[in-house]
Amino acid sequence: MQPYALDLRSHILSIPNYPKPGIVFRDVTTLFADAAAFRLAIDGLIEPFAKGEVDLVAGIEARGFIIGGAMADRLGAGFVPIRKKGKLPRETVSVSYALEYGSDEIEMHRDAVAAEQRVLLVDDLIATGGTAKAAVTLLRRLGADIVGASVIVDLPDLGGAARLEELGLTVRSLVTFDGH
């Protein structure tokens, strides 16, 4: 367990049976509302990447925008949003991915990442890793060199971080919760 887990875990609310029965939703917005906890989370998320070159932080909609913007500022890097289909105004590239029941699609601006730019992928939570894997596919399609992924919460029983590690990424998580 990361040294930050004991401090940050208490700032994350667990909401049972949301969005459906049997699921425990991990609400990080309570962590965002506490300035000291938010600062500690950002410090922890950037720590393994602070010494290396990060040109861009790519945040997955929507909570990944909140932490990604703060991380980009601390790293002296730019920020790139990865959004659900139909939300970006210029020419985009997209990728579809499977969900438990159906599929979804994410996209980013075609000119958001230049070949070989070093990109750090961020989101608030990783569960099965479907969205994160799709984001990796999208970034690599544009030629990005993905230096790693940072998330506040990992649900290791669902295997998402392990799936990203199989793609060759270092995954930084601050807090783990058993189950889903």
pLDDT tens digit sequence for 123-172: 999 999 999 999 999 999 999 999 999 999 999 999 999 999 999 999 99
Amino acid at 26: R
Closest by Cα among 121, 168, 157 to 23 = 157
Our measurement of the distance from residue 1's CA atom to the centroid of its chain's CA atoms, rounded to an integer in Å, reads 19
Q: What pLDDT, on the 0 to 100 scale, is given for residue 5?
A: 45
Run of H or E residues at 170: none
Q: What pLDDT, on the 0 to 100 scale, is given for residue 179?
A: 79
Q: What pLDDT, on the 0 to 100 scale, is given for residue 6?
A: 44
Our measurement of the distance from residue 87's CA atom to the centroid of its chain's CA atoms, rounded to an integer in Å, reads 18
Q: What pLDDT, on the 0 to 100 scale, is given for residue 95?
A: 97
For residue range 96-107, list pLDDT tens digits in order. Answer: 998 767 789 999
Q: What is the mean pLDDT of the chain?
A: 93
- For the record, the structure tokens of 129 come out as 């890793």
What percentage of the chain reaches a pLDDT higher than 70?
96
Domain count, the chain: 1
Q: How far apart are CA 57 and CA 157, in angstroms?
A: 27
Closest by Cα among 141, 162, 146 to 92 = 141
Q: How far apart are CA 32 and CA 53, in angstroms?
A: 26
- Identify the domain containing residue 142 by its residue range: 5-176
Q: What pLDDT, on the 0 to 100 scale, is given for residue 92?
A: 97
21: left (phi over 0), alpha (psi -120 to 50) or beta: beta
Q: What pLDDT, on the 0 to 100 scale, is given for residue 1?
A: 39
Q: What pLDDT, on the 0 to 100 scale, is given for residue 102?
A: 78
Any idea what the CATH number is for the domain that residue 111 is in? 3.40.50.2020
Instruction: State the average pLDDT over residues 63-87.
Output: 97
Instruction: State the average pLDDT over residues 81-108.
Output: 92
Long-range contacts of 98-106 (CB under 8 A, 24+ apart): 98/130, 99/130, 100/128, 104/131, 106/60, 106/61, 106/82, 106/131, 106/134, 106/135, 106/138
Q: What pLDDT, on the 0 to 100 scale, is given for residue 51?
A: 87
**pLDDT-based confidence at residue 2 (cuts at 50, 70, 90):** very low
For residue range 11-23, list pLDDT tens digits in order. Answer: 999 999 998 899 9
- Predicted TM-score (pTM) of this structure: 0.94
Rg over alpha carbons for the chain, rounded to the nearest Å, is: 15
4: pLDDT strictly greater than 70: no
What percentage of the chain reaches a pLDDT higher than 90?
87
One-character DSSP codes across 69-125: HHHHHHHT-EEEEEEETT--SS-EEEEEEEETTEEEEEEEETTSS-TT-EEEEEEEE
Q: How far apart are CA 35 and CA 43, in angstroms?
A: 12
